[in-house]
Amino acid sequence: MRLIFKVSYYIRTNYVNKEGKSPLMIRIYLNGKMLTVGSAGINVDKTKWSNETNRLKGRTSEVLNTNAQIDNISSDLRNIFLKHQFDKDLTLDKIKSIYLGKNKECTTFLDFYGKYLEDIKAQVGKGKTLATYHKYSAAGKHFENFLKLKYGRKDIMPSELTHVIIHDFDIYLRTVVSLKPNSATKTLKFFKTVVIFAQKCGVLTHDPFAQHRFHLESVDRGFLTDDEITRIMEKEFSTPRLESVRDIFIFSCFCGLAYIDVANLTQDNIVTLDGKKWIMTRRQKTHVESNILLLDIPLMIINKYKGKTKDGKLLPILSNQKMNAYLKEIADLCGIKKRLTYHLARHTFATMMLSKGVPVESVSKMLGHANIKTTQIYARITNKKIEHDMMNLSEKLDCFNDAATHLTSD
């Protein structure tokens, strides 16, 4: 039986890079059956592409060079076919495997995921954080455990990663792993990032997340009231340890920095502009600038510990774990029933600023949020704010009081 082999190309139109070009994908055919090999490693301008000739139109040096690359790929694939056309077990998968230089069908999904993790790990401290690496690692481990439990398998091929598997994985995270809805969604988003990269590399030729919708539930983020902040500030502590933990916590209540960003502060981050002192830093989590005008209270705390740190840091901050343990003790001593953690200071700052009328755009800039929608999560309306606003309104409505007496007169 004579075998008919063909190579063709198509443009992945759902992805466009900064230059306005899209990846060129390879397809191979054997007796009418088709298989996508993956990316050709070439990005092309779709307006110059001819589906009829499977080449770029034009005579520029760039076009000629790209067409030559396409010819080389086609030639390599045809040579593989000619060499193995009489093999009894010749399949499209075998041709693809040989072309990709592998002795197995192709890269398994978890193999690809592992290589992605290695890339993330290599970037830790160079644009990526260790926390980010751990989140990707955890998502991958959850998926590996899911495959074993649900399907009794150690791995799958990229082509097997379907919408159904994504749906089942989502359910697994919420039930078996017992992740809260938002935690499950965030884990799945980390997983999707790897899937998207696999698509860009041509390892995945479909989108298993195409029908999946992410939903983050609105969470009531805790915060301290003005009274609770005052109680913590006025409390006399018997040990310097608790006093310094309290001071640094209050510092964040009035500047909004997260634990890691306070831990990274040095005197170099304090800048004087027009006679005012500012904290100018970049958030470790998002790498977004965070510029905060220092109010009297955080300035007093900075001055209190000036020259008293051993490592050149601005404040004598302990590990996050120890800070939270001591804050629990402080909450007990101050009669505060809320779960006091260091990150609560950031929530408190955001809520306090917004409730006292600071525009959300300014608060977003101080918090170093990459998206103002993140800041709007904090824009709750407290009862105290409602009372304050209504009292102001009441004063403006005094002009109606005389007329109102006629409503109650007999």
Cα torsion 147, 153, 155, 161: sign = negative
Q: Specify the CATH number for the domain of residue 332.
A: 1.10.443.10
Let me know if residue 213 belongs to a domain: no
Let me know if residue 34 belongs to a domain: yes
- Reference 100, options 3, 201, 17, 12; nearest CA is 201
The total domain count for the chain is 3
Let me know if residue 207 belongs to a domain: no
Strand (E) or helix (H) holding 273: strand 270-273
Could you tell me if 115 and 90 lie in one domain?
A: no
Strand (E) or helix (H) holding 301: helix 296-304
Could you tell me if 130 and 194 lie in one domain?
A: yes
Distance between CA atoms of 198 and 207, rounded to whole angstroms? 10
Q: Is the pLDDT of residue 409 over 60?
A: no
pLDDT tens string 98-111: 888 743 444 689 99
Whether residue 181 contacts residue 95, with contact meaning beta carbons closer than 8 Å, is answered with: no
Distance between CA atoms of 404 and 278, rounded to whole angstroms? 51
Let me know if residue 36 belongs to a domain: yes
Could you tell me if 93 and 115 lie in one domain?
A: no
Single out the residue in 64, 99, 134 at which a domain terminates.
99
Rounded percentage of the chain residues whose pLDDT exceeds 90: 49
Let me know if residue 209 belongs to a domain: no
Let me know if residue 212 belongs to a domain: no
Let me know if residue 404 belongs to a domain: no
Written as one letter, the residue type at 333 is L
Q: Is the pLDDT of residue 230 over 70?
A: yes
Which structure tokens are listed for 79? 């040579």
Give the position of tokens 């398994």. 108
Per-residue model confidence (pLDDT) at position 379: 60
Let me know if residue 211 belongs to a domain: no
Which structure tokens are listed for 280? 């100018």
Distance between CA atoms of 307 and 33, rounded to whole angstroms? 74
Global confidence as pTM: 0.56
- Reference 174, options 217, 134, 130; nearest CA is 217
**Separation of first and last alpha carbons in the chain:** 109
Q: Specify the CATH number for the domain of residue 162.
A: 1.10.150
Could you tell me if 124 and 179 lie in one domain?
A: yes
Single out the residue in 57, 72, 99 at which a domain terminates.
99
Could you tell me if 181 and 233 lie in one domain?
A: no
Could you tell me if 291 and 361 lie in one domain?
A: yes
Could you tell me if 313 and 342 lie in one domain?
A: yes
pLDDT tens string 31-83: 999 999 988 888 999 999 999 999 999 988 888 888 988 998 898 899 889 98
pLDDT tens string 348-395: 998 888 888 888 888 888 888 777 776 666 665 555 566 666 777 777
C-alpha distances (whole Å) from 177 to each of 93, 145, 188, 216, 410 are 36, 10, 13, 18, 70
Distance between CA atoms of 252 and 246, rounded to whole angstroms? 10
Per-residue model confidence (pLDDT) at position 27: 95
Per-residue model confidence (pLDDT) at position 245: 95
Could you tell me if 295 and 359 lie in one domain?
A: yes
Could you tell me if 27 and 93 lie in one domain?
A: yes
Could you tell me if 62 and 148 lie in one domain?
A: no
pLDDT tens string 12-42: 988 888 888 999 999 999 999 999 998 888 8
322 backbone dihedrals φ, ψ, rounded to 5°: -70, -40
Which structure tokens are listed for 98? 């040989």
Could you tell me if 93 and 114 lie in one domain?
A: no
- Average pLDDT (270-293) is 88
236 backbone dihedrals φ, ψ, rounded to 5°: -90, 125
Beta-carbon count within 10 A of 208 CB: 21
Distance between CA atoms of 6 and 29, rounded to whole angstroms? 5
pLDDT tens string 209-223: 988 888 877 666 688
Could you tell me if 94 and 113 lie in one domain?
A: no
Distance between CA atoms of 100 and 123, rounded to whole angstroms? 27
What is the extent of the structural domain holding 156?
Answer: 109-200
- Average pLDDT (313-337) is 94
